[in-house]
Every structure is written in C-alpha cells, then in structure tokens.
Amino acid sequence: MAWDSGRLHFGGDYNPDQWPRDVWAEDRRLMHDAGVTLATVGVFSWAHLQPAPDRYEFGWLDEVLDGLAGAGIGVDLATATASPPPWLTTAHPEALPVDREGHRRWPGARQAYCPSSAAWRDGALALVERLGTRYAGHPALRMWHVGNEYGCHTSRCYCDTCAAGFRDWLVRRHGDVDGVNRAWGTAFWSQRYSALDEILPPRLTPDGAWANPTQQLDYRRFASDLLLEEFVAERDVLHRLSPGVPVTTNFMVMTRFNQLDYWAWARELDVVSTDYYPDFADPLTHVEAAFCADMTRGLADGGPWLLMETSPSAVNWQPRNPAKRPGQLRRDALQQVAHGADGFNVFQVRASVAGAEKFHSGLIPHAGTDTRLWREVVELGDLLDRLGEVAGSRVESSVALVWDWQAWWGCELDSHPSVDVAYPDRARAFHRALWDLGVAVDVVAPGASLDGYDLVVVPTLYLVDDSVAPVLDAFVRGGGHVVVTYFSGIVDADDHIRTGGYPGAFRELLGVLVEEFAPLLAGERVMLDDGGSADVWTEDLRLAGAEPVVRYVDGPVPGRPAVTRHALGDGVAWYVATRTDVATTARLVARMVEEAGVRPVAASSPGVEVQRRRAGAASWLFVLNHTDAAATVATTGTDIVSGVPVSGSVTVPAGGVAVVREGGPA
Ligand code: GAL
C-alpha cells in the first residue's frame, strides 16, 4: 500500500493555490519543523486546475507535489471535484442543485452541484482521469481523496433529472409502481400512483400537510446512494490508473450530521477517514468526539482509519468561535489515536487571509510562529512521531452499541408522537455513562455479528428490518445482555408500524407490551420510584415476562414500569422506556455493566478517559484528563508522553495526557 502505515500521520488540508509561490518554500520548511507527514492537497482546486473547458493547468500542482516529495511529506491528493468552477455552471445552469421549493441554488459559495447532472459528472470524471494519469506514479502520492464531505451543503437535489433517477431507483428497490404504492402506503390521502412517471421527489407540500413519510425516507436513501455512485465512479478511475494507491473520502461522522448512510459508504472506501469538529458550545463535546471516533472505528471494521479534519484551534462557522485552550489540541489528537486512529489531520495547514474561512485557525496561524499555537503544533508533531509504535494496533471492547443512519432518518421524520425524540440523544447518553465508567465501546451496524460482546446497547432503533431482532434474541439466549431504549423496533424498513403492541420487533425479546405511547409535554418531568426522574417520553407498558426494575411515581402512567429486565435463556434483555436523567442512566448502566461482567479499561473517575490499544502482547494505555484536577490511574510501564517510567500508577495533570506502554517495570 502506498500509504505508509508504520507511523501515525499528522498534517492537514494544504491549499497553496491560495498563496503566492514565494510562500510555498516556507510552508514546506514549517511543515517539516512541525513533523507533518501528510498534506491533503487540492480539495477545492478545480477552477485552478481547469480554468476553462479545454484548458488544464497542472504546472503549479507538479511544483507543489515535487516540493512536498522533496521535503519527505506524503500527499493525500484530492480529485478537486467538490466544487465545480464558475465556467461549468455558467455553461450548464442545469448542473446547479434545486431545493425542495423548486429554486436553483446559485454558485458563489461551494459544493453547488446537482449530482445527477451529466455536465458535472462528465467534467468531474474527465478531471479525475487527467489527475490519475498524471500523478499515479508521483513519489509524494500516498492516498487519493475523492470529493469533500459528501452530503454537506447539497445533500439532496430536487430537480427533474434527480426525479427521473429516483424513479429508476424506486423500480430497483420496489419492483414497479404497485411495489411503490405498497411500500409508501399510498392508499392514504389519495396518493395512489397509476404510473411511475407521476412519482416525484418529496418537494414542498401545502402548509401542514406532510409529504408521505416513506417517500421522504426513500428519497434520503436515494440521495445517499446517488452520491455514493459519484464517489465510486471517481474511485474506479483511480483504481484503474493507480492500482494499490488507497482511495478515501472524508466522512462527517458527528451526531450533528446525518445525510449519508455511512455503513453503505464505508464498504466502498479503501481507508476510512472522517472529519470531527468540536461543538464549542457543548460542554460534553469531548464525549461526543469519543463516541464518533468509536463510530469511525466501527466503519473501518478493523482496518486503519484517519481523523482527516478538525480545527487546530478556533473554527469560523459556529455562532461564537473560541480558541482551543492550552493543551486541548494535544488532548483532542491523542483522543482520536486512543480510539484507534492512525493519523490526526486538521483543516488547514496555513490559515487563509481571504474568503469565508479567513477566521478559521490553521497550523500556521496569522500571527506566525512565535505563538502558543505553533509551539503546540510542533510539540504535537513530535509526540505523534514518538507514538508511531501504536500504528496498526487495535482497540478491544466487550460492549457494542448499535447505530444506524437509516433508523435516524426514520426516527426524526415529521408527524411523530413527539418532536423531542432525537435519535442521537439516548445513544450519546448511554455512551457517556459507559465512557464515565471507563468502558470501551464498539459501534456496530444493526444485524452485525455480536460474537465476543457481553453487553449490547440498542438506543432508539426506531426502524429495523426483520433480520435484527433474531440476532439480538440469539445473543441474549446465548448469555448476552442487551439494553433497548424507547421508540425502538417500531417500524419495518418501509416505515410501516409493526402491530400487536410496541415495541414491535423487540416485544418478545424484552418481555413487555406497550399499549400506547404517553409522551410528555415540553418541560414536563416525571418522578421515578428509585429517586430519579425522566422527561420527554413515557409509555403505558404491560409486563409480558419481564420484571419491573423502576416504576413511575407520577405523570401520565403512575405505577407503570419505566425500566424492565427480562431474563431470557442464559442472558438478560433490559428495556428503558423513558428518558432517564443523567444520574439514573449512570446507575442503570453501572448495574448492567456489572451483571454482564463487563470490565472497564482501567479504574478511572468521570472525565478521566481511559482507552487501551493492543498489538499482540504489546499494549498502550491512554489516559486523557478532561477535568480541572490531576488524576491518577493504576498502570505500570513507560509514559511515552513524558518519557518517564511508571510504576504502579500514573498521575496526569489537569487537562493532561499520558500514553503508557504497559509492561513490567520500565
Ligand atoms: C470542513 C470542510 C473544510 C473546511 C472546514 C472548516 O467541513 O471539509 O473544507 O471548510 O470544514 O471547519
């Protein structure tokens, strides 16, 4: 593989086309000083590489790549197709996307294209053909980077060309117009189609009249598949022209982005990579970061993966954009590595001086190199170099959390029992409780093999096909422990209710039957008989084999079970039918962990993150102290961060990090 896998990569998006040539030599020198090993070049360079339909200019890119190769810096070379140049959309206005109200979106920002447009697609593939031909053998080339953050800005186009593509997609999924009528339940509201060409994307409907939910869901599936086709088309050109060079695209694995079905996408990537940006207004964003890293590791399915972008310090696109505090960049980087990343890259190498991102931080700040940020960057590059021995090692876990983008789409469709049910909410809450206990978590797709796990968390899995419940059932009967949270198992893959009592698909597994949902009003809170409380959701639940663990004291269904436990075969299936508060969730999860025999990575306290990576007999314990006080964790070996031997325990200062190569006295 061209990608040098024996080290941890460090680097970022590098946009030399924004700068005069005389800056490039300094860029290379500074990148070298910072220990940069990988530069992502050309993500938004289409207009520079092809200034006119019949004119390509590769000279500048040759120079950049030659310079980087000479400086020993590898290149993740972009296909530059993320944003078409103005000449293309001027000549082909139909290549611009159309929103659900029927308005064309104008160029002038980025990523304004319709993925069905032949002009855009042909232009993109012609550029990729030339790039692949020209640079396949370039000594700097480590990886190809197709597009950029697919689904960002333009996730769905509603134009007539997309409508035609949608109809073809529907035939592939449902067979014919009758199949669509069945799947979409068009007996409702006089929606029955008599011919395929009557079917449209879910464009804006009259006020207060929701578009058919399955139509909306299928359109999201279609849009994800359509973009994936574009990725695959570019990837296939690159595979043909430069066999052996891995191809990636940067995902946006965040609990704030849900435009693509990444389980389907991940299968098509040679190396999975993701962007993760902190939500600076969220005090628990570092826990979300851990969760998303676990998710990305799941997408990589045992293979290597990279953090492709984050900000070295501030971003420019949140309402308020604070700088990272001293030490935060290092903690953010090591957190990704702790969860399995073999590289940490940022957006971008040199902060821009013009354009919409001029207030976004870069490795090289506007203020230059006599700055705290630059010193932290150089220290980080050195540390990642010294941590190279962990590359290729694995994170192990006995807890799995089931996550699904399609269930997210379904869960958050309109016309549901409560607008307060947010798909990522319970996943984050349960992951956080496990994180606080120091328990490592793998994220898996619904229906994935559960071999080797002791505890499986199934949060808000609203939509499930028929294959999922039997896998969980067999897992529990065989001795596994499962916890399912409310609004799970409710509909099938076509968003049709599973009748006979909620939670449809999981009723027998959980040994309960829910007659009616009883969601709470805004701000309403119910008391639980274990002293805790809950909000958002309750339900009128009957026991059908399970035992009650916690009951409601008040609210719409006083006395009814809120948490149940079902002994089934050799295992246990828990059901949490309400949105328990943080302390109650923590208590429940601690009990589930204990009963399932799950062990933490190391004994730690909340806010002190512990993760272990292993390779054969070797292991590394990562300790990331996110708190304001020093923390001590038991371990013996050598702390690679400080270079100091550790005997019995390591003490990590507030905000600090340690990576202990474990084993005998050092
Ligand atoms: C990412 C994007 C980059 C840059 C960055 C700024 O979403 O891929 O090109 O815009 O955000 O934070």
Average pLDDT, the chain: 97
**Cβ 347 under 6 angstroms from ligand 1:** yes
The CATH class of the 608-661 domain is mainly beta
Give residue 228's pLDDT band: very low, low, confident or very high (50, 70, 90): very high
Residues in the chain: 666
pLDDT at 665 over 70: no
Collect contacts of 595-601 with beta carbons under 8 A, ≥24 apart: 595/481, 596/398, 596/454, 596/455, 596/480, 596/481, 596/572, 597/454, 598/398, 598/399, 598/439, 598/454, 598/455, 599/398, 599/439, 600/437, 600/438, 600/439, 601/438, 601/439, 601/440
pLDDT in tens, 384-402: 999 999 999 999 999 999 9
Residue 3 has pLDDT above 80, yes or no: no
Give me ligand 1 centre to Cα 13, in Å: 9
Q: Judge if the beta carbon of residue 251 lies within 6 A of ligand 1.
A: no
Instruction: Give DSSP secondary structure letters for 374-423.
Output: HHHHHHHHHHHHHGGGGTT-EE--SEEEE--HHHHHHHT-SS-S-TT--H
Distance (Å) from CA 110 to ligand 1 centroid: 11
**At the top level of CATH, which class does the domain 399-596 belong to?**
alpha beta
Q: What three-state secondary structure class fits 548?
A: strand
Among 13, 44, 149, 292, the mutation site with the greatest number of ligand 1 atoms within 8 A of its Cβ is 149
Which residue has its alpha carbon closest to ligand 1 atom 4?
A: 347
Q: What is the mean pLDDT of residues 605-616?
A: 96
CA of 148 to the centre of ligand 1 (A): 9
In this predicted structure, what is the pLDDT of residue 174?
98
Summarize the confidence of residues 398-420 as an average pLDDT: 98
Scan for tokens 């296909």, then name that residue. Answer: 79
Distance 347 CA to ligand 1 centre (A): 6
Looking at the CA of residue 315, tell me the nearest atom of ligand 1: 12
Q: What is the pTM of this model?
A: 0.98
| Cα–Cα distance measured from residue 510 to residue 571, given in angstroms and rounded to the nearest whole number | 11
* pLDDT tops 70 at residue 85: yes
Contact (Cβ atoms closer than 8 angstroms) between residue 536 and residue 418 = yes
**In the predicted structure, residue 283 carries a pLDDT above the cut 50:** yes
From the centroid of its chain, how far is CA 84? 26
Whether residue 293 has pLDDT greater than 70: yes
Residue 666: pLDDT band (50, 70, 90) is very low
Residue 462 Cβ inside 6 Å of ligand 1? The answer reads no
Query: Is the pLDDT reported for residue 2 higher than 80?
Result: no
- Cα torsion angle, 583, 586, 591, 594, sign: negative
Which residue out of 13, 45, 155, 275 has the highest number of ligand 1 atoms within 8 Å of its CB and is therefore the one to mutate?
A: 275
pLDDT tens profile 504-529: 999 999 999 999 999 999 999 999 99
What confidence tier does 664 reach under pLDDT thresholds 50, 70, 90? low
Radius of gyration from C-alpha coordinates of the chain: 26
Ligand 1 in contact with 275 (CB < 6 A)?
yes
Query: In the predicted model, is pLDDT for residue 307 greater than 50?
Result: yes
Question: Is CATH 3.20.20.80 the classification given to domain 9-155+244-257+272-287+305-390?
Answer: yes
Average pLDDT over residues 519-543: 98
Q: Is the pLDDT of residue 224 over 80?
A: yes
Statement: residue 159 has pLDDT above 50: yes
Q: Which of 3-12, 282-291, 378-387 is predicted with the least confidence, judged by mean pLDDT?
A: 3-12
Buried b (16+ CB within 10 A) or exposed e, 238-260: bbebbeebbbbbbbbbbbebbbb
Sign of CA dihedral 317, 319, 323, 329: negative
Amino acid 6: pLDDT: 85
Report the pLDDT averaged over residues 25-34. Answer: 98
Shortest-distance Cα residue to atom 2 of ligand 1: 149
Q: What confidence category does residue 635 fall into, taking pLDDT thresholds of 50, 70 and 90? A: very high
Rounded distance, CA 225 to CA 235, Å? 15
Residue 310 above 50 pLDDT?
A: yes
Residues with catalytic function:
149, 309
* Extents of the domains making up the chain: 9-155+244-257+272-287+305-390, 399-596, 608-661
Q: Is 315 in the pocket of ligand 1 (CB under 6 A)?
A: yes
